[in-house]
Structure 1
Amino acid sequence: PTVKEEYISIQNAMKIKGVTIRKSPIEMIEYRLVPLLISVTKIGEELSASALTRGLGSPIKRTNICKIGLKKIDYFLLLLASLCWVVLIFF
């Protein structure tokens, strides 16, 4: 699907620029396949970089650094903020 989308984008760009192909195989390669190959290669490199950044190729199992959840201080601050809100609304 990505290759098809890129090919359609290249066709549209050529129409906008007014470039036409006269059924020559050389022009077909020059104006359509070369930009398509460059675009697809760039997309592949971006996907590869994304996978490496996320650690998808790492032999080590993913771990979380910190536990997620509310602590006592969070509940205290929530209660304090609620009390301040109530005081502002009613007074």
Structure 2
Amino acid sequence: MITLSQIDTFCTVVERGSFTQAAKLRGVTPGAISNHIHGLETRLQPPLFKRDGGAVKITPAGKTFAKHATEIMRHIAQIEMRIDALKQ
């Protein structure tokens, strides 16, 4: 099963363009980022990123996943805002 944490990690890598920069932003090791992405790629099969040294490029499969992943994260943010509004 794909987890929300994996989706969030994926979106951060896309946004930052590297596993290292994503790790710095999230306060985790690059290895943790790599593990999340590896889990996604194992589940989905095609690679989501092409790795070239320290840089990563998104693959066609990654672009398809990114479209949906960003929508999921946007929906999660909306849910959190609506729930927070109910608390007040």
Normalising by the residue count of structure 2, what TM-score does the alignment of the two structures yield? 0.40
Q: Which has the larger radius of gyration?
A: 1
Structure with greater contact order relative to length (CA < 8 Å, sep ≥ 6): 2
Indicate the structure with greater strand content.
Answer: 2
